[in-house]
Structure 1
Amino acid sequence: MAKWDNMLSMLWMLRSGRKLTAAQIADNLEISVRSVYRYIDALCASGVPVVAESGHDGGIRILDSFKETPLFFNTTELKALVDAHKFAQGAGYPFTEELESALKKVENSLHEEQRQDLSVLTGGLDVISPERPPYLTVALRDLEQAAKEGRTVRIIYRKANTEQEEEREVDPYGLAFDRNEWYEVAFCHRSQAMRTFRVDRIERVEPTEGWFERPEGFSAFDYFRDQSERRREAEGPLIDVRIEGMPDKLNELCRHWHLRHYLTERTDREARFVLDVPTMNKYLPTYLITFGTAIRVLEPPELKRRIQETASGIANHYLNETN
């Protein structure tokens, strides 16, 4: 067990209120008595009033005046906190400054040796993410605040592949981070229906005088899952789809926002899906052809035939263009 883990364990042992001898602590932690006294010195330096009393009724204890225990983390917990901060920054989490401030408070409570250990442990992981628009953080904060207050907001939204902006009033129910993008699930007053908005396309959020009540137990995760289920073209019949390929390409395929809900089995070289035939025929040929020769459809024959027809149609289109 690492030094800092032993210190934490010793602290909790002493918080029981009982006097313990150095030998008892050493036996419990499976360390030497000499190490016990080194850890006592380190705890005292951290502000923990540990007292070692000699004599027949002596022992090691914490003074009764000590009411609050300083926050101690073992090395793995500290690493997890720092790494989580890196992931939050990469995702564009709107409260990274507050998270960084909290981490600074934790790091300031560490000894120099512990800070050096932490630097070594966390130096091997970085999170690389795409550039995000500068107004994203502000929009995320405003939307979360509006959801908390139950306030209707007016958003300036830009649809994909267009420079045209449109104004909408929405009731923001909740945020979700999916496929490296932030989404707002909201009730749209213009459509009178639930809609999903990519937050990086929301250029401005303005509060209105309107108020709303979010449905009890609402979950953005459940909403995304339900929407994927509803995109099925028909109720059946269901069919098995087997696709082989390199692991990285299968990973991309299995992460697809729609297909991932139909994944039933995955090995290193093969993925199996179960979905209805109309959905398969409508969406899969066009999507799977984008992988080129990096994947191969094993079953069903009907899907292979439709991919062949799609590829042939594309080839003929450009062949006719050159003639």
Structure 2
Amino acid sequence: MAKWDNMLSMLWMLRDGRKLTAAQIADQLEISIRTVYRYIDALGASGVPVVAESGHDGGIRILDSFKETPLFFNALELKALVDAYKFAQGAGYPYAEELESALKKVENGLQADQLHELSIRTNGLDVIAPARPPSVVVSLRDLEQAAEAGRTVRIAYRKANAEQVDEREVDPYGLAYDRGEWYAVGYCHRSRETRTFRVDRIEKLEPTEATFEKPERFSASGYFRDQSERARDADGPLTVIRIEGAPDALNAVCGHWHLRHYLTERTDRDARFLLDWPTMNKHLPTYLLTFGTDIRIKEPKELRRSVQELASRIAAHCEDGAG
């Protein structure tokens, strides 16, 4: 067990008011008595009123004045915190600065050896952030605050490939980060239904005086799942689809906006989905054919046959064109 894990364990052993000898602590933690006394010094330096009393009735205890447990993190926990900040920053998380400030407070409470180990463990991972306009962070903050306050916003929104922006009023219910982009989900007053809006396409945003009530237990991620579910062509029956292939090809299949919701199992070599027959027959043959020889359809055989027939028709069409 790492040093800081042992120190925390010793702290919890003593916190209930018990008095233990150094030998008892050393035995339970499987460390030396000398190490126990080193930990006592370290805890004392951290502000914990731990004392070692000598004599027949002596032992190690914590003074009754001690109320709060200081934060101790092991090396991997500290690494996870720093790496999480890197990912948040790369995703354009709107409170990355506040997260960095909180992380600095944690680092300020670390010992020198912890800081050194943290530096070693975290210098091998970087997250390359995509180029985003600075307005995205501002819009994310404004949208989240509007959702929390139940305040309708007016946005100037530019759809993909559109030459002009259009204005609409939206009740923002929540935000979601999906496939490298931020989305706002909310009720659009113009279309009179719930819609999704890519935040980087919002060119202007301002609050209005109107208010709204968010649907009970609304979840932006749940909305995305529901939309994918509605894209299915039927409710059943369901069939298992198993696909083998190269890692990159499997990643692409498993990350597909629709298929990812039906992924049931994934290994390094294959992926399994549970999908209804009509949707499988209508959409998958054409999609899977785009991967060429990078994937293999193991089951069901009906899907494999559909892809083979589609490939044959394409080959025959190309031969007719060449003639």
TM-score (norm 1): 0.89
For structure 1, the residue ranges without an aligned partner over 5 or more in a row are none
Deviation (angstroms), 1:267: 4.7
CA distance, structure 2, for counterparts of residue 284 and residue 28 of structure 1: 59
- The residue identity in structure 2 corresponding to 1:210 is A
Q: Cα distance 1:202–1:26, how it changes in 2: closer, same or farther (>3 A)?
A: same
3-state SS in 1 of match to 2:19: coil
- The residue identity in structure 2 corresponding to 1:11 is L
Aligned twin of 1:291: 291
User: Is the 8 Å Cα contact of residues 107 and 115 (structure 2) preserved in structure 1?
Assistant: yes
User: Is the 8 Å Cα contact of residues 173 and 185 (structure 1) preserved in structure 2?
Assistant: yes
Are residues 1:302 and 2:306 paired?
A: yes
CA distance, structure 1, for counterparts of residue 27 and residue 177 of structure 2: 48
3-state SS in 1 of match to 2:124: coil
Provide Cα deviations, 1:127-154, integer angstroms capped at 9, x if missing partner. 2332222111111111111111111111
Deviation (angstroms), 1:272: 4.1
3-state SS in 2 of match to 1:172: strand
CA distance, structure 1, for counterparts of residue 147 and residue 315 of structure 2: 47
Q: Cα distance 1:112–1:312, how it changes in 2: closer, same or farther (>3 A)?
A: farther
- Higher mean C-alpha displacement, 83-92 vs 119-128: 119-128
CA distance, structure 1, for counterparts of residue 310 and residue 14 of structure 2: 71
- Higher mean C-alpha displacement, 271-280 vs 123-132: 271-280
Q: Cα distance 1:211–1:28, how it changes in 2: closer, same or farther (>3 A)?
A: same
Aligned twin of 1:189: 189
Provide Cα deviations, 1:287-309, integer angstroms capped at 9, x if missing partner. 33432432344543123323444
Are residues 1:99 and 2:99 paired?
A: yes
- The residue identity in structure 1 corresponding to 2:52 is A
CA distance, structure 2, for counterparts of residue 191 and residue 27 of structure 1: 70
Aligned twin of 1:229: 229
Provide Cα deviations, 1:14-42, integer angstroms capped at 9, x if missing partner. 21112222112111211111111111111
3-state SS in 2 of match to 1:55: coil
Provide Cα deviations, 1:191-224, integer angstroms capped at 9, x if missing partner. 1101011112122221001101011111112211
Q: Cα distance 1:261–1:310, how it changes in 2: closer, same or farther (>3 A)?
A: farther
Provide Cα deviations, 1:225-253, integer angstroms capped at 9, x if missing partner. 11111112344565654543212201210
Aligned twin of 2:120: 120
Identity in percent: 73
Aligned twin of 1:162: 162
CA distance, structure 2, for counterparts of residue 57 and residue 173 of structure 1: 63
RMSD: 2.4
Deviation (angstroms), 1:310: 5.1
Q: Cα distance 1:244–1:62, how it changes in 2: closer, same or farther (>3 A)?
A: closer
Q: Cα distance 1:25–1:238, how it changes in 2: closer, same or farther (>3 A)?
A: closer
CA distance, structure 2, for counterparts of residue 316 and residue 241 of structure 1: 32
- Higher mean C-alpha displacement, 250-259 vs 7-16: 7-16
Q: Cα distance 1:237–1:80, how it changes in 2: closer, same or farther (>3 A)?
A: closer
- The residue identity in structure 2 corresponding to 1:279 is T
Deviation (angstroms), 1:276: 3.9
Aligned twin of 1:47: 47
Aligned twin of 2:204: 204
Are residues 1:247 and 2:247 paired?
A: yes
- The residue identity in structure 1 corresponding to 2:218 is F
Aligned twin of 2:32: 32
Deviation (angstroms), 1:286: 4.1
- Higher mean C-alpha displacement, 215-224 vs 235-244: 235-244
User: Is the 8 Å Cα contact of residues 51 and 61 (structure 1) preserved in structure 2?
Assistant: yes
CA distance, structure 1, for counterparts of residue 110 and residue 270 of structure 2: 48
For structure 2, the residue ranges without an aligned partner over 5 or more in a row are none
User: Is the 8 Å Cα contact of residues 286 and 310 (structure 2) preserved in structure 1?
Assistant: no
Deviation (angstroms), 1:126: 2.2
CA distance, structure 2, for counterparts of residue 66 and residue 239 of structure 1: 60
Aligned twin of 1:172: 172
Q: Cα distance 1:112–1:291, how it changes in 2: closer, same or farther (>3 A)?
A: same
User: Is the 8 Å Cα contact of residues 281 and 306 (structure 1) preserved in structure 2?
Assistant: no
User: Is the 8 Å Cα contact of residues 285 and 306 (structure 2) preserved in structure 1?
Assistant: no
Deviation (angstroms), 1:274: 4.3
TM-score (norm 2): 0.89
- Higher mean C-alpha displacement, 105-114 vs 66-75: 66-75
- The residue identity in structure 2 corresponding to 1:109 is G
CA distance, structure 1, for counterparts of residue 117 and residue 36 of structure 2: 20
Aligned twin of 2:133: 133
Are residues 1:19 and 2:15 paired?
A: no
